[in-house]
Chain A
Amino acid sequence: MSALAAPRVAEEPLHRRLGLTDDELVAIEARLGRRPNDLELAMFSVMWSEHCSYKSSKPLLRTLPTAGEGVVAGPGENAGVISIGDGLAVAFKIESHNHPSAVEPYQGAATGVGGILRDIFTMGARPVAVLDALRFGDPADPRTRHLVDGVVRGVGGYGNCVGVPTVGGELVFDPSYAGNPLVNVMAIGLLEERLLTLAAAPGPGNLVVLFGSTTGRDGIGGASVLASATFGADEPSKRPTVQVGDPFAEKLLIEASLELIERGLVEGLQDLGAGGITCATSETADRAGTGILVDLDAIPRREPRMAPFELMISESQERMLAAVVPERWPEVRDVCLRWGLPVAVVGRVTADGDVTIVEGGLDPVGRPNPAAVELARIPAKALTSDAIVHARLASPPARHRPAPAPGAAVEGSGGLPERGMDPGAVLLALIGGANLSSRQWVHEQYDSHVQANTVERPGRGAAVIRIKGTTKALVASTDGNQAVGLVDPWLGAALSVAEATRNVSITGARPLGVTNCLNYGDPTRPEAFWQLQEGVRGLGDACRALGLPVTGGNVSLYNESPAGAIAPTPVIGVVGLLDDAATRVGPAFLAAGDRVLLVGSSTPGLLGSAYAELAGVAPEDGPPALDLAREAALQVFIRTAIGRGLVASAQDVSGGGLAVALAEGCIWAAEGRGLGAVLRLPVKGAPAVELFGEAPSRLVVTCRPAACAALLELARQHGLPAEDLGAIGGDRLVIELVGQGATGASEERGSGVADAVDVPVADLANAWEHGLARALGEDGPDRSPGDDGRAGNPPEIR
């Protein structure tokens, strides 16, 4: 349990047991001008935790571009908000719940969903979509399977019940997450701009109202003990720090909060997350330049005899804090009670700038009763905007290799065992592998269509959500590249931004802004802090190059376990806008006879690719280079081409390279019935680089034959190489390799090995559909084969 409750056997001083350093205690005393008492120390310990204070990352985050067209609210608010016309705005943010999920996967993931949803509706937006970006260790490991099952059930159990569709995300397996899985959840909401509500407590004399669930002993020290420290061997002892979610209460909280905002009954609204009442009161007071007086006796609680520090730092879920004009209180109370939510006036907004905690009640005008006892008094800004900031040491690890300059030749790139490589067999192995196969097993446990807005269901690229009453649609994607990030964290982050925005652009949508979840290691280790520093630099460079604002996000540090630190993992969330949902382009091949174009050219470097993982990367190899200017041009090109109606389908070349991108277009064609293609691929270098290399800034674009010339010309105008590879047709994917590289490679590999990929689409589809369930050992008797009503599947005779 928490240090305050723990028996004082270990004679560590209290501040250390609460996770504060000696320097931090000195800084606290400087701000107070005296020694803090135990309750005040507990309040500082949560607010000065990495999780709440960003004390290590703040200086880095200040370097990110935050201005952009239509930005209504940026970093510092609960979520970023961007105007989309028609008086509407979109609110979105991504957040991590990594450590709670490692300790208790179901509740950790469930409360992760609940927390990010509250960040959205706190601002007056109705949540319309959730995306979950998940990362685990080896899928064959029973511990991983336990975590995957619990996390997926947790995300579904919460999202399905609150009635917000889970429309996308990622599921990635990498050994570095074995002891420390990543559970990042992104939420998107829609609001009328006029209803935008900020998390501030203005107006001295206003009532401070707490509504939603009652306050209990769950999640004590979640922010300080759990989220802001490295895992040791004592994970089970951290279980009491995990919060417990109640999605039914959250659903009521959504409806009540949106009704309060719609009717203009609140002056400010803040959800209670990490740091509980301490965080909500100090942040809202600091933002408004006011203070808050809290009466502990007035807090509705679910357990008797709770200590003051427990009430102040409890992270009980599904609670909201509102600033209310006294005259409005009866209406506010009625709304909450009609939704069956406990509600109470727990304090007053004051003018003194302090967060003051008393026991013994307030009089009718909000002054403490004569008998009341003052337990704590801390300047609000000392807990928040004036919290300590650490200048951490950064130094690159010895094995770091910088990314090659764009276009520069890379020594030994593609230096992989080509001998005996049958490209068709490699393709089947890749597309049936744990990371590139269908995520259906996950998505079928999530309600992806509640609210009747889901245009593109999860599993085939970016999610598409129509906006009722308009022709518009929101397009969203999350992406994160940890494999390259391990070698070059700058490149890993920049690639993640490039891929997430590319996935939005290829639907025809214009990316609006970027949210990010930065998952890194212990910032007190110079190597880990260097990775964070480089990651933030890559994020900023890529966003500036693409002209996109960073509207908010979350930093998750200390992602380490006895097994080691995770690969640096910046998970990037992007939201885009389609002016006319009907013009949306998908990744599936449409019709036989359509031409298949490759736009953009491959660059050497297989490190970090799925192929390298399969074949074993040559030690001297490096990752492919990223040219941000070309990436920007590529995205403008595809949006323009789609706008002119030239494009039948578009898919970006990413995991598994060109061969996998082509295979996906084939598998997904004709509502899953599949379509083949007969293609000729010019090979300059090694076949592995051309077929399976993951060089960025490339697209597979298909079109009617009549549009082909115009597309090639448009690509030329944007300075992009483009080639007509062949046509869609038949029931096999055939990729013939032609040119110097191919011939040389075939001789080198000796006889009996075909240069061409030639695989039946049915085989590709089969490998892709069952790969994940197989990897997780979930393709057991309870999921026997048989069709899902999809046209064209062979009927099962029983």
Chain B
Amino acid sequence: MVRIGVVVFPGSNRDIDAVNALRVAGAEPVVLWHESADLGGVDGIVLPGGFAFGDYLRAGVIARFSPVMRSVAGYAAEGGLVLGICNGFQVLTEAGLLPGALLRNRSLRFVSRQVAIAPQRLDSPFTRALESRRPLRMPVAHGEGCYFAEPAALDDLEAGGGVLFRYVRSDGSTAGEDDRANPNGSLRAIAGVTNAAGNVAGLMPHPETAVEAILGSEDGLGIIRSLVDSAAERAAAGRRSAVGSAR
């Protein structure tokens, strides 16, 4: 069974949601403690939501210095799959593993709400299990989720296929920067991004909390399943090359 690491920082609180979602998606969750640099040979990594180190000073800015993050950076450099959700996304931008920054919501209030996001590409390791670009419904819950980057950087990001998800209205059209469908005022309605290599991604909404009908939406499962499938494939490829080099 494919093993996906879930990093736990002091203050992580959606780690249990990530563990639950990975189980629903048929993977084996492996808890990774922030003080340990050992990733335990996992096939993929999730940085969960929460308030790592209380989000004191600035969300994610302290967590990035944890021993585990040095290993995560190295793992990502080798092409390992890393998905950051909410606080995990903030940690990845602070660590420089993803472009841009997450500023305080334009309302200057915490926002907890169901939103709709549309995948901008279906060929990413994090969206491959999605059958279409139809809007996905899932909750957001954050105070610092307004995606920001310089206009030129945003142009490059879009040109390079770095925009993974956008907030959309119910008709699928992209949300404006200050309408309700964009819960935090993110520039160009960006809800999630991926790095140039395509193996690291982050998003503010919570697919891991929308994986069962009883919770009001299963739309998040496609994203979690994409990660699990991609991780399984990569693990199999790794084993093949290992066998190859053994010859």
Question: Could you list which residues of chain A lie within 8 angstroms of chain B, going by C-beta atoms?
Answer: 153, 156-157, 160-163, 246-248, 251-252, 339-340, 443-455, 457, 466, 468, 581-582, 782-793, 795-796, 798
Also in contact, A789 and B114, with CB within 8 A (given A163-B13, A340-B10, A784-B179): yes
Indicate if the CB atoms of A791 and B170 lie closer than 8 Å. Answer: yes
Indicate if the CB atoms of A796 and B178 lie closer than 8 Å. Answer: no
Please name all residues of chain A whose beta carbon is closer than 8 Å to the beta carbon of B135 when the two chains form the complex.
789
Count A/B pairs, Cβ under 8 Å: 141
Per the bound structure, the CA–CA distance linking A684 and B180 in Å amounts to 46
Please name all residues of chain B whose beta carbon is closer than 8 Å to the beta carbon of A340 when the two chains form the complex.
10
Please name all residues of chain A whose beta carbon is closer than 8 Å to the beta carbon of B209 when the two chains form the complex.
449-450, 452
B147 at the A interface (CB under 8 A): no
Partner pick for A786 among B139, B175, B208, CB 8 A cutoff: B175
Give 13 CB contacts A-B under 8 Å.
A161-B11, A248-B51, A449-B139, A449-B215, A466-B214, A468-B20, A782-B106, A782-B108, A783-B107, A788-B181, A788-B183, A789-B169, A790-B170
Indicate if the CB atoms of A798 and B179 lie closer than 8 Å. Answer: yes
Stretch of B39-47, B53-61, B72-80, B239-247 with 4 or more beta carbons under 8 angstroms from chain A? B53-61
Per the bound structure, the CA–CA distance linking A381 and B221 in Å amounts to 56
Partner pick for A792 among B21, B112, B170, B206, CB 8 A cutoff: B170
Please name all residues of chain A whose beta carbon is closer than 8 Å to the beta carbon of B113 when the two chains form the complex.
444, 788
Per the bound structure, the CA–CA distance linking A161 and B216 in Å amounts to 23
Partner pick for A784 among B53, B170, B178, CB 8 A cutoff: B178
Indicate if the CB atoms of B14 and A786 lie closer than 8 Å. Answer: no
Chain A: CB-nearest residue to B169: A795
Partner pick for A447 among B107, B112, B179, B216, CB 8 A cutoff: B112
Chain A: CB-nearest residue to B183: A788
Indicate if the CB atoms of A796 and B179 lie closer than 8 Å. Answer: yes
Which residues of chain B (168-226) have a CB below 8 Å from chain A? 168-171, 173, 175-176, 178-181, 183, 206, 208-209, 211-212, 214-216
Question: Could you list which residues of chain B lie within 8 angstroms of chain A, going by C-beta atoms?
Answer: 10-11, 13-14, 16-17, 20-21, 49-51, 53-56, 106-116, 135, 137, 139, 141, 143, 167-171, 173, 175-176, 178-181, 183, 206, 208-209, 211-212, 214-216
Indicate if the CB atoms of B53 and A786 lie closer than 8 Å. Answer: no
Indicate if the CB atoms of B179 and A454 lie closer than 8 Å. Answer: no
Chain B: CB-nearest residue to A791: B170
Per the bound structure, the CA–CA distance linking A393 and B115 in Å amounts to 56
Please name all residues of chain B whose beta carbon is closer than 8 Å to the beta carbon of A157 when the two chains form the complex.
110
Indicate if the CB atoms of A454 and B181 lie closer than 8 Å. Answer: no
Partner pick for A450 among B17, B53, B108, B211, CB 8 A cutoff: B17
Also in contact, A789 and B107, with CB within 8 A (given A251-B11, A581-B214): no
Give 6 closest A-B pairs by Cβ, nearest first. Answer: A163-B13, A248-B54, A789-B116, A786-B179, A786-B180, A795-B171
Please name all residues of chain B whose beta carbon is closer than 8 Å to the beta carbon of A161 when the two chains form the complex.
11, 13, 51, 54-55
Chain A: CB-nearest residue to B117: A789
CB distance from B190 to the nearest CB of A (A): 16
Please name all residues of chain B whose beta carbon is closer than 8 Å to the beta carbon of A450 when the two chains form the complex.
13-14, 17, 49, 141, 209
Please name all residues of chain A whose beta carbon is closer than 8 Å to the beta carbon of B110 when the two chains form the complex.
153, 156-157, 160, 445-447
Name the residue among A457, A785, A788 with the largest chain B CB count within 10 angstroms.
A788
Partner pick for A787 among B55, B170, B206, B208, CB 8 A cutoff: B170
Indicate if the CB atoms of A452 and B141 lie closer than 8 Å. Answer: no
Name the residue among A339, A449, A791, A798 with the largest chain B CB count within 10 angstroms.
A449
CB distance from B174 to the nearest CB of A (A): 9
CB distance from B224 to the nearest CB of A (A): 12
Please name all residues of chain B whose beta carbon is closer than 8 Å to the beta carbon of A443 when the two chains form the complex.
112
Chain B: CB-nearest residue to A255: B10
Q: Given A251-B10, A449-B215, A450-B13, list of 16 further CB < 8 A pairs?
A: A156-B110, A160-B51, A162-B13, A252-B11, A444-B109, A444-B113, A445-B110, A450-B17, A452-B21, A452-B209, A453-B215, A786-B176, A787-B169, A788-B183, A789-B169, A796-B179
Indicate if the CB atoms of B170 and A445 lie closer than 8 Å. Answer: no
Also in contact, A793 and B206, with CB within 8 A (given A450-B17, A452-B20, A782-B106): no
Name the residue among A153, A451, A468 with the largest chain B CB count within 10 angstroms.
A451
Per the bound structure, the CA–CA distance linking A785 and B141 in Å amounts to 20
Indicate if the CB atoms of A782 and B107 lie closer than 8 Å. Answer: yes
Chain A: CB-nearest residue to B178: A784
CB distance from B54 to the nearest CB of A (A): 3
Per the bound structure, the CA–CA distance linking A795 and B176 in Å amounts to 11
Also in contact, A455 and B54, with CB within 8 A (given A449-B139, A786-B176, A790-B170): no
Please name all residues of chain B whose beta carbon is closer than 8 Å to the beta carbon of A445 when the two chains form the complex.
109-112
Indicate if the CB atoms of A247 and B54 lie closer than 8 Å. Answer: yes
Indicate if the CB atoms of A160 and B54 lie closer than 8 Å. Answer: no
Per the bound structure, the CA–CA distance linking A546 and B116 in Å amounts to 44
Also in contact, A448 and B17, with CB within 8 A (given A160-B141, A251-B11): no
Chain A: CB-nearest residue to B12: A163
CB distance from A621 to the nearest CB of B (A): 41
Indicate if the CB atoms of A251 and B51 lie closer than 8 Å. Answer: yes
Name the residue among B141, B183, B211 with the largest chain A CB count within 10 angstroms.
B141
Per the bound structure, the CA–CA distance linking A785 and B171 in Å amounts to 16
Please name all residues of chain B whose beta carbon is closer than 8 Å to the beta carbon of A581 when the two chains form the complex.
214
Per the bound structure, the CA–CA distance linking A516 and B90 in Å amounts to 40
Please name all residues of chain A whose beta carbon is closer than 8 Å to the beta carbon of B49 when the two chains form the complex.
450
Partner pick for A789 among B56, B112, B115, B215, CB 8 A cutoff: B115
CB distance from B11 to the nearest CB of A (A): 5
CB distance from A194 to the nearest CB of B (A): 21
Please name all residues of chain B whose beta carbon is closer than 8 Å to the beta carbon of A787 when the two chains form the complex.
169-170, 179-181
Per the bound structure, the CA–CA distance linking A451 and B48 in Å amounts to 12
Per the bound structure, the CA–CA distance linking A341 and B116 in Å amounts to 40
Chain B: CB-nearest residue to A126: B16
CB distance from B51 to the nearest CB of A (A): 5
Partner pick for B180 among A452, A457, A788, CB 8 A cutoff: A788
Chain A: CB-nearest residue to B208: A452
Indicate if the CB atoms of B214 and A790 lie closer than 8 Å. Answer: no
CB distance from B46 to the nearest CB of A (A): 14
CB distance from A101 to the nearest CB of B (A): 18
Per the bound structure, the CA–CA distance linking A156 and B10 in Å amounts to 19
Per the bound structure, the CA–CA distance linking A466 and B111 in Å amounts to 23
CB distance from A418 to the nearest CB of B (A): 40
Indicate if the CB atoms of A786 and B169 lie closer than 8 Å. Answer: yes
Per the bound structure, the CA–CA distance linking A578 and B116 in Å amounts to 30
Chain B: CB-nearest residue to A797: B173
CB distance from B109 to the nearest CB of A (A): 6
Indicate if the CB atoms of A790 and B114 lie closer than 8 Å. Answer: yes
Chain A: CB-nearest residue to B176: A798
Chain A: CB-nearest residue to B136: A789
Per the bound structure, the CA–CA distance linking A783 and B184 in Å amounts to 11
CB distance from A672 to the nearest CB of B (A): 10
Please name all residues of chain A whose beta carbon is closer than 8 Å to the beta carbon of B171 when the two chains form the complex.
795
Also in contact, A246 and B54, with CB within 8 A (given A448-B112, A581-B214, A785-B180): yes
CB distance from B21 to the nearest CB of A (A): 7
CB distance from A264 to the nearest CB of B (A): 22
Partner pick for B169 among A452, A457, A784, A796, CB 8 A cutoff: A796
CB distance from A343 to the nearest CB of B (A): 15
Per the bound structure, the CA–CA distance linking A340 and B53 in Å amounts to 11
Partner pick for A455 among B51, B107, B109, B215, CB 8 A cutoff: B215
Per the bound structure, the CA–CA distance linking A443 and B113 in Å amounts to 9
Per the bound structure, the CA–CA distance linking A784 and B112 in Å amounts to 17
Please name all residues of chain A whose beta carbon is closer than 8 Å to the beta carbon of B215 when the two chains form the complex.
449, 452-455, 466
Please name all residues of chain B whose beta carbon is closer than 8 Å to the beta carbon of A788 when the two chains form the complex.
113-115, 180-181, 183
Name the residue among B137, B206, B215 with the largest chain A CB count within 10 angstroms.
B215
Indicate if the CB atoms of A455 and B214 lie closer than 8 Å. Answer: yes
Indicate if the CB atoms of B181 and A786 lie closer than 8 Å. Answer: yes
Per the bound structure, the CA–CA distance linking A581 and B215 in Å amounts to 11
Chain A: CB-nearest residue to B177: A798
Chain B: CB-nearest residue to A164: B13
Please name all residues of chain B whose beta carbon is closer than 8 Å to the beta carbon of A792 when the two chains form the complex.
170
CB distance from B176 to the nearest CB of A (A): 5
CB distance from B237 to the nearest CB of A (A): 32
Partner pick for B170 among A163, A448, A785, A793, CB 8 A cutoff: A793
Per the bound structure, the CA–CA distance linking A366 and B225 in Å amounts to 57
